[in-house]
Amino acid sequence: MDIAELIDALDREGRLLADAAQQAGPDAQVPTCPDWRVRDLLAHVGMVHRWVTRILTEGLTEMVRPQPGQEPEDTDLTPWFRDGHGALVKALNEADPEGRYFTILPTSHSPLAFWARRQAHETAIHRVDAESALGKDLSPVAPAFAADGLGELLTGFHATERSKVRTETPRTLRLRATDAEVVWTVRLSDAPPRAEAGDAGDADCELSGSAEELYLTLWNRLPMARLRATGDTSLAELWRERSGF
């Protein structure tokens, strides 16, 4: 997906998140993040949005930490979130496409493309949290956006030392979307997972479902039972138990 498409997705997902949070109320529990209530969700995402806005508008190239604890009281929390979300969309639209900015992961994309992608998916996953707190049906995720997010998860977060999805005996997990031409082969070992696009050789376990189901399940927002599993299903359980960040 290109930068403009990702910014559009961020804009849409942030609005949906705010709407769901406002309807649920700040004290509502978030089933997908059991330790959180909606106020915690808004505080977290609002903080991240403001942090990335600062990186872009100040042209920061070195690490600067987010600043928690800046959120207002409950009555002003959703408007505060909306303001920060709008500022981030504006900052991404106005940032220099060739600019050098700090990023939290190594990337082959431009820093601006990295942040447009990261914030679109950060906000989409937490929008699911807000809608889960509301108890309503989840807003749909377009296959192309879900496929992009699945790729980011596998080649970004789980390619780093932070990933705990590891096995003493090397195993191979296949992920296959049923509504898009998306297949990933994920090689598991005692090192971080190595994901490669395509159907690369035999797999010990295959998980299949729509791109949306794969995206949200591998981000632990849907139960693993939503996917069809064949082969050694213990690898599905391994992912569920160890893939959280």
- 19-70 pLDDT per residue, tens: 999 999 999 999 999 999 999 999 999 999 999 999 999 999 999 999 888 9
The stretch 160-169 carries a mean pLDDT of 95
- pLDDT band at residue 96, thresholds of 50, 70 and 90? very high
Residues 84 and 45 in one domain: yes
Q: Are 129 and 138 in contact (CB under 8 A)?
A: no
Residues 122 and 187 in one domain: no
The stretch 172-183 carries a mean pLDDT of 96
* pLDDT over 90 at 228, yes or no: yes
What pLDDT, on a 0 to 100 scale, did the predictor assign at position 245? 80
Global pTM exceeds 0.85: yes
Residues 161 and 187 in one domain: yes
Count of domains in the chain?
2
Of 63-72, 136-145, 183-192, which gets the smallest average pLDDT?
Answer: 63-72
- 3-class secondary-structure state, position 125: helix
What pLDDT, on a 0 to 100 scale, did the predictor assign at position 107? 86
What pLDDT, on a 0 to 100 scale, did the predictor assign at position 205? 97
Residues 60 and 159 in one domain: no
Residues 18 and 121 in one domain: yes
Residues 185 and 114 in one domain: no
Q: Are 7 and 92 in contact (CB under 8 A)?
A: yes
What pLDDT, on a 0 to 100 scale, did the predictor assign at position 136? 83
181: in domain = yes
140: in domain = no
pLDDT, mean over the chain: 96
The identity of residue 101, as a single letter, is: Y
Residues 51 and 161 in one domain: no
162: in domain = yes
The CATH number of the domain holding residue 40 is 1.20.120
Per DSSP, 166 falls in state -
Residue 210 φ/ψ, nearest 5 degrees: -65, 160
151: in domain = yes
Strands 205-209 and 228-231: antiparallel
Q: Whole domain around residue 39: which residue ranges?
A: 3-134
Residues 82 and 149 in one domain: no
Residues 97 and 23 in one domain: yes
Please state, in angstroms and rounded to a whole number, the distance separating the CA atoms of residues 226 and 214.
9
